[in-house]
Amino acid sequence: MEVKYIHDGQLETAAFKLLVEYGVKYGEIRKPPIPVEEIIESYLQLDYGFDDLSKLLNTQDVLGATWVKLKKICIDQSLDPSVDSGVLGRYRFTAAHEIGHWQLHRAQLLEDDQNLFETIQKPAIVCRKVFAKQPIEIQADRFASFLLMPKHIVQNEWQLRYGSLEPYNAVAEISDINARFGQTDRQPTTQVAKQLAKVFNVSGQAMQIRLVNLGLILTKRPEMKLF
């Protein structure tokens, strides 16, 4: 599906708007983790659960799926954190990703195809690893990041831990990790990101990307300036 371009600022605003709307009805979210299941089931009022999506949809590497007309979101059973606690971060990001599709792409799907035909075996959107670089998937990923790690809540948690919004310079830590493992082109997850990831129930990698984008973790040496 070809999607309309959406600027990151618009994606962040859309995620924040959803959190505000949820907060008006169920109470303001002031601390992490963000209640993605409650947003899906209570606020959006969608049918939600797990299934063996690869078997159901007869395709491989399916992480999640969204049915627009059937008002349903489903996550692949391989990401069920009640079975494997190690996938909690990936599960929550996938759930938020599907919320992104619902919020961002539902109207366009219905507009582009007023006779959109869905069955249980044919959802409107199927999210597979192989599709990760498609614009529609990138938009949903970025929405998920903004939803799970809202700027104001991340900054508040950072201040509570470190007393200010002064960034952490991770250049030395990253260099040391790469040296120990013989890597030169990787950006390993820092301890700071791992610790905060546990608070937000996201993966360390997702947390680090968000912190870098917010300017709270520096991964490159600052350029020398003459003046």
Query: Quick one: tokens of 114?
Result: 């007023």
Main-chain phi, psi angles of 66, to 5 degrees: -130, 130
Cβ neighbours, 10 Å, residue 150: 20
Percentage of the residues of the chain whose pLDDT score is greater than 70: 93
What's the DSSP call for residue 226?
-
Across the chain, mean pLDDT equals 92
pLDDT at 132: 80
pTM, rounded to two decimals = 0.92
Tell me the two tokens of residue 193.
């990101």
Query: Are the beta carbons of 148 and 206 closer than 8 angstroms?
Result: yes
Strand partners, 217: 168
Predicted confidence at residue 108, as pLDDT, reads 87
The answer to whether residue 220 scores a pLDDT higher than 90 is no
- C-alpha to C-alpha distances, 25 to 13, 16, 106, 221, nearest whole angstrom: 19, 15, 22, 45
Q: What pLDDT shows up at residue 148? A: 98
Q: Could you tell me which residue, 75 or 131, shows the higher pLDDT?
A: 75
43-73 core/surface letters (b: 16 or more CB in 10 A; e: else): bbebebebeebbebbeeeebbbbbbbeeebb
Average pLDDT over residues 82-87: 97
Whether 227 has a pLDDT exceeding 80, the answer reads: no
pLDDT digits (tens, 9 = 90+) for 27-56: 999 999 999 999 999 999 999 999 999 999
pLDDT digits (tens, 9 = 90+) for 104-123: 999 988 886 666 788 888 99
Q: How far apart are the first and last CA of the chain?
A: 49
